[in-house]
Homo-oligomer: A and B are copies of this chain.
Amino acid sequence: MTQTPERLTKGERTRRRILHTALEIFAERGYAGVSLREVASRAGITHAGLLHYFTGKDDLLLTMMIERDRAEIEAIRSYVAAGTGPSSVEQIIVRWMIRDIARNQSRPDIAPLFVKLSTEATESGHPAYDYFRGRYIRLRETLARGFAYEFAAAEPPVEGRDPGLCAQQFIALADGLQVQWLLDPESTDMVASLLDYLGILGIDAEGWADIAVPEDRSA
């Protein structure tokens, strides 16, 4: 399904280059503050050329978000399907998120993007409002199943905690820590803070930031 870059048409390569550039710039400066001209310029074409591939700024944003999500989901599924250990998504999702944040803390990439765009998109009527709403709901559900698994797997098992509430708190913590980290990286160790939270819950998450998962090939 996923072709190697060498086999792609010139148009498809340009399209991917635009998406990659858009991701970088939106991550740096949000959505409203960025112009198509700037994205096009950094991608090596004019803004009119860019509009050959996307109908407008909104389309570029949503396409980028959706493709990014799909790549991430496929990476998780293929890791699980590889069968080297865990055999379902809920057995790995909490660890995956920890590792994801650890990787982003050492090499900032797309994490700022989601925080900036999600807050910007909270205005109803924003082009990505529905997308983010659905994304948070899905993530919360997946993570809730992950917490239910971790609670049962913990030694001793954790009882009396609501997995859904913990999922909500975990996501909120990850988002909020991102803001503090971007403003003041030296004072904020996101991974340590998240592991500490899991520790409070009764989950021993030692070493979860280092679990080996395949690098995903970004768009």
Contacts and interface: CB of A to CB of B under 8 A. Distances in A.
Sort chain A's interface into a size bin. Answer: 35 or more
A133 interface: yes
Contacts of A63: none
A144 to B, nearest CB: 11
Tell me whether chain A's interface is mostly helix, strand or loop, or mixed: helix
A121 B119 CA distance: 12
B115 A180 contact: no
Contact of A133 (B136, B171, B172, B183): B183
A52 B186 CA distance: 40
A153 interface: no
A120 B113 CA distance: 11
Contact of A123 (B29, B174, B177, B184): B29
Given A175-B172, A176-B175, A196-B165, A119 B123 contact: no
Contacts of A193: 165, 168-169, 172
A188 interface: yes
Contact of A173 (B119, B173, B196): B173
Interface of A: 28-30, 32-33, 112, 115-116, 118-123, 129, 132-133, 136-137, 140, 165, 168-169, 171-177, 179-180, 182-184, 187-188, 193, 196-197, 200-201
